[in-house]
Amino acid sequence: MRKASRRRRRPFGRFVLIGLWLLFVLAPLYWMFITSIKPSDDYLANPPVWFPSHPTLVHYTAALFAYRGFQGLINSLIISSAATLVSTVVGTLMAYSLARFNTGGGHLSFWVLSQRFLPPVATVLPLFLIYRSLGLHDTRTGLVIAYAVFTLPVTVWMMLAYFRQLPPSLEEAALVDGCSRWRAFWAVAVPLAAPGIVAAMVFAFIACWTEFFFALILTSRNAFTLPTVFRAFLGFQGAQYGEASALAMVSLAPSIVLGTLAQKHLVRGLTLGAVRG
């Protein structure tokens, strides 16, 4: 039966579409990679150089050291990890409260969800002023707190969906055995939810790692993150293609690896738990 339907739906059309799309997805990545290892002389060659005959790594050293990409990398690592940790801990606690005790009726969860859709300009402008008066502007701490809150709605909603999926009977059994509610949460629910927690952490990390707007406004010369380093390559017609590409390669590798590993949870991450993948 499947064979018949396949024949009717012209499988070749499907594969042409998928093939073209894969080409479209890979082309910019390939070109960027090639640019990152191309000697500068090849930039303006016509026809374009599809693969350089003398690949070089000079752009990588230049991007990392001359353009302070390395410091951006370190800042990004520290800030994203710390923000992920805060967001996951705080978010998991809240999600459990919402899932098991229906805290605040639907209103609290809706309020958290609505945070996800606020335009960042609306909060970043005043946050910039507040941070300046508190001395948090251009500090890692400042960006960590901002990112923790910025990723919180997704973490809460992902974990909320995860906890709702877990049967409450095990925790109830723990309560009947004399555990406190905290212990029922900590010793029973958290270990059961571990895969969900890891997935939430991955998505929070990727969100921080790739974030640009907050970092652009809340940092300048000290706490700047990797994505903001790309500003240095703007406006100089053609001179730094290699450096920009090299830095992009460095930056996209970790998030792609993490994202691919957490692929199974992607649907939940993208829809804040509304859809089970």
Partner 1 sequence: MAPAALPAGAFPLPGKEGMTNAASVPQRRRPGRDGALAEWADRRLKWLLAAPAILLILALSLYPLLFSIWVSFINYDFTVPGHAFVGLKNFQQVIGDPVARWSLVVTLILSSASVVTEFLLGLALALAMVKPFRGRGVAMSVIIVPLFISPVIVGQAWALLLQRPFGPTNYLLGKLLGMDVTISWLTQTPWNFIALVVADAWQWTPFMFVILLAGLTSIPQHIYEAAELDGVEWLDTFIFITVPHLAPMMLLAVTFRLLDAVKLFDTIFMLTGGGPGTMTYSSSFYLYTVGFQQFHLSQATAGSWIFLAMTAIVIGVLVRRLMRVEAAR
In single-letter form, the type of residue at position 91 comes to G
Nearest alpha carbon to residue 262 among 184, 158, 111: 158
Distance CA 277, CA 268 (A): 6
By CB under 8 A, is residue 191 in contact with partner 1? no
By CB under 8 A, is residue 9 in contact with partner 1? yes
Q: What is the CA radius of gyration of the chain?
A: 23
Counted residue by residue, the chain has a size of: 277
**Among the listed residues 55, 114, 198, 222, the single contact to partner 1 using CB under 8 A:** 114
The answer to whether 232 and 67 are in contact (CB under 8 A) is: yes
Rounded least distance, CB 255 to partner 1, Å = 4
**Among the listed residues 35, 80, 84, 88, the single contact to partner 1 using CB under 8 A:** 35
The 124-143 site mask, x for binding partner 1 (CB under 8 A), equals -xxxxxx-------------
**Two tokens, residue 162:** 């995860």
**Among the listed residues 41, 55, 58, 110, the single contact to partner 1 using CB under 8 A:** 110
Rounded least distance, CB 230 to partner 1, Å = 5
**Among the listed residues 60, 67, 224, 241, the single contact to partner 1 using CB under 8 A:** 241
By CB under 8 A, is residue 32 in contact with partner 1? yes
By CB under 8 A, is residue 26 in contact with partner 1? yes
**Two tokens, residue 144:** 């960590």
Q: How many residues bind partner 1 (CB under 8 A)?
A: 124
150 by Cβ neighbours in 10 Å (0-12 / 13-18 / 19+) ranks as buried
**Which residue lies nearer to partner 1 by CB, 64 or 112?**
112
Distance CA 120, CA 43 (A): 37
Distance CA 84, CA 51 (A): 39
CB-based burial, 129-143: b 16+ in 10 Å, e otherwise? eebeeeebbbbbebb
Rounded least distance, CB 90 to partner 1, Å = 5
By CB under 8 A, is residue 64 in contact with partner 1? no
**Which residue lies nearer to partner 1 by CB, 22 or 57?**
22
Q: Find the binding residues for partner 1 in span 158-177 (CB under 8 A).
A: 163-168, 171-172, 175-177
Distance CA 23, CA 4 (A): 29
**Among the listed residues 37, 64, 79, 248, the single contact to partner 1 using CB under 8 A:** 248
**Among the listed residues 57, 66, 187, 275, the single contact to partner 1 using CB under 8 A:** 275
* 45 dihedral zone (left: phi>0; alpha: psi -120 to 50; beta): beta
**Which residue lies nearer to partner 1 by CB, 54 or 126?**
126
Nearest alpha carbon to residue 201 among 104, 90, 117: 90
**Among the listed residues 55, 181, 187, 194, the single contact to partner 1 using CB under 8 A:** 181
Rounded least distance, CB 7 to partner 1, Å = 12
